[in-house]
Chain A
């Protein structure tokens, strides 16, 4: 087993089935409550949009990713989490990439289940348009979840206990919602744009998708560079 597999195993062990089930249950419960409230307040179509924009993508995704990265990092630095893997000579940098990839996949999977669920509940029926919206929201949430994990993993390489991820969480909440160029650096703005919200700096949907990929891969690459081999 190599360093990448070691990082994968480390993350998989930390994000156990129990953690994943709990994370899904809490996220789904929150999303369903928001969906029901929105449905009671507005039409079915808008209820789904508001549930996604104000509930799932704005709150569930960042907090789920933050929680997942914190869990994997043992509430410390992400590179400390792979010390055991690197101890006998495996590359710490590669192990870190494995750790982030596994965490990203797990968070993306949970996000991809919660978002469609919230759409279906908000719509109140399971027909073709709802199913199409559910699938679309699923991949957007999965992409957003992955981008958030990479962002917070990079943050957790700063500070003695990885406090940088809390700084980035706060920055995403505050700066990601601003109608300015700085918002393009955070997933929040692009996720809002992809589900029909205001475009960030006039970027088209496919460009926002590209930005989310860039944020995810860029943060992963920067994080790998920051970790000592």
Chain B
């Protein structure tokens, strides 16, 4: 039975996190930029934490090649491996792990048989994530699987859940971080909530809901924030008058509900919205500001 222990770990957004896990699946619900990707990276030995201690079966994975050999990981930002072909990259990993299977067998088991002869540089970011997850799941005897958004990595979710369950039954610690409440509940019965770098409790705890920030660019932040305050889906609105005067950071329990609330508030307050950005995602303009700021067209164009 393996163990994962984090003691007062600080790294990026992670803020003095303590965590102790035994064999089984541990789901962590983490909003973007709240430390979920750092949690996976330090647990897998990819990053050394700025402070604190990470131990897998009593040893630091960053400092111990033997421990890293027993870890499978899916990082938030996966890149194509460096090798002549994907098959060669997989073969290298298998050789390091002492796994006698062929690259083709492993790729086939994840439904990625067509990747074998491809150039790693031809993999899209999503395909690179699929490959990393397939490699993690194919580990013959992992002590730890540290995975970021495992059900959104392009592999069949049923296959992923089955494989994770099998590894957990055989004594591995499975740490799965996700920003999707649905995925978290599919992964494990108990879901820990990581918010702003700290574990704040379990999802099932009464009254505890994760807040998911959405950044809104608007012509009238005062009027919009006043209207949002009346929306039940919105738990808090932050208006930084000094930094980004036209920006509100809106927290809520469910991103879709928050988006609808923003639209309703925009309609009722008359505030023109320039952009809506999910914190942690690549910024994208939902609707460019128009000089006229036509109020009638605004909501119709956003019809959901």
Q: How far is the CA of A6 from the CA of B96 in the complex (A)?
A: 11
User: Contact residue range for chain B?
Assistant: 20 to 34
Per DSSP, are chain B's interface residues mostly helix, strand or loop, or mixed?
A: loop
Number of A-B contacts (CB under 8 A): 41
- Within 82-138 of A, Cβ neighbours of B (below 8 Å) are at 83-84, 86-92
A1 within 8 Å of B (CB atoms):
yes
Q: How far is the CB of B64 from chain A (nearest CB, A)?
A: 7
Pick from A6, A84, A88: contact of B97, CB below 8 A: A88
Known contacts A1-B95, A229-B63: A89-B68 contact under CB 8 Å = yes
Contacts of A86 in B (CB 8 A): 65, 68
Residues B65-104 near A (CB distance < 8 A): 65-66, 68-70, 73, 79, 81-83, 92-93, 95-97
A229 touches B65 (CB 8 A): yes
- At the interface, yes or no: A9 with Cβ under 8 Å from chain B? yes
- B82 engages A13 (CB within 8 Å): yes
Taking a contact as CB atoms closer than 8 A, the residue among A9, A10, A89, A92 that contacts B66 in the complex is A89
A78 to chain B, nearest CB (A): 14
Q: Which residues of B contact A42 (CB under 8 A)?
A: none
Does B62 contact A89, Cβ atoms closer than 8 Å? Answer: no
Residues of A within 8 A of B64 (CB): 229
Residues of A within 8 A of B73 (CB): 87
Question: A228: CB under 8 A from chain B?
Answer: yes
Contacts of A1 in B (CB 8 A): 92, 95
Least Cβ distance of A164 to chain B in Å?
A: 17
CA of A1 to CA of B95 in the docked complex: distance in angstroms?
8
Q: State the CA gap A13–B93 with chains docked (Å).
A: 18
Which residues of chain B have C-beta atoms less than 8 A from A13's C-beta? 82
With A13-B82, A89-B97 already in contact, the answer to whether A228 and B48 are too (CB < 8 A) is yes
Q: Tell whether B239 is near chain A: CB-to-CB under 8 Å.
A: no
Known contacts being A9-B82, A10-B82, A229-B63, is A88 close to B93, with CB within 8 Å?
A: yes
CB proximity of B205 to chain A, nearest CB, Å = 35
Q: Determine whether the beta carbon of B82 is less than 8 Å from that of A84.
A: yes
User: Which B residues form the contact surface with A (CB < 8 A)?
Assistant: 44-46, 48, 62-66, 68-70, 73, 79, 81-83, 92-93, 95-97, 135
8 more A-B residue pairs beyond the given contacts A87-B68, A89-B65, A228-B48, with a C-beta to C-beta distance below 8 A: A6-B92, A84-B82, A87-B45, A87-B46, A88-B93, A89-B66, A89-B69, A90-B96
* A interface residue numbers (CB < 8 A to B): 1, 6, 9-10, 13, 83-84, 86-92, 228-229
The 6 closest A-B CB pairs, nearest first, are A89-B69, A89-B68, A88-B93, A228-B63, A88-B96, A89-B96
